[in-house]
Amino acid sequence: MGLFDNAKLRRIVHAGWHGLCPECGKASMFNGWLKLVARCPACGLDYKFAHADDGPAFFALCLTAFPLIFVVVWVQVAFDPPWWVHALVSAPILAVGCLGSLRPFKGWLVASQYLNNAA
């Protein structure tokens, strides 16, 4: 039933969202915040297949930041709040939104690289 019924895609989304090994789904693919483990401790999968550049992570940052900045600008125009509202509310939302999206996005990329190469 369409793209989202695809078992491979479901595996990519699941492994990426939880940061789990795309092969066994039992152990984390991360060793630290964005650094990948060399080898899966559960099934021994070698993560050499994954490209270790953070360009895609930067891309995710822009994708997340854009709508958030849009919201910040909208708040400014609609409510004209004092500057400290942005310092206390907008800045943390931007930081959390960007940092929070990096990990699942990188996980998705790694999982899709693995499952597409394996196919």
List residues near Zn ion by CB under 5 A: 21, 23-24, 40, 42-43, 45
Residue 60 CB contacts under 8 Å (≥ 6 apart), including other chains? 101, 102, 105, 106
Contacts 24+ apart (CB under 8 A), 34-42: 34/102, 34/103, 34/106, 36/110
Compute the least distance from the CB of residue 56 to Zn ion, in Å. Answer: 22
Q: Please state, in angstroms and rounded to a whole number, the distance separating the CA atoms of residues 48 and 72.
A: 40
Nearer to Zn ion, 42 or 75 (CB): 42
CB of 6 to Zn ion, least distance (A): 21
In the bound state with Zn ion, the residue whose beta carbon lies nearer, of 12 and 72, is 12
Q: How far is the CB of 74 from Zn ion (least distance, A)?
A: 43
Q: Contact 30/52 with Cβ under 8 angstroms?
A: no
| Residue 11 or 23 having the CB closest to Zn ion | 23
* CB 65, CB 55: distance < 8 Å: no
To Zn ion, the closest distance from the beta carbon of 40 in angstroms equals: 3
- For residues 44 and 67, which CB has a smaller minimum distance to Zn ion in the complex? 44
Q: Of 44, 43, 7, 28, nearest to 110 (Cα)?
A: 28
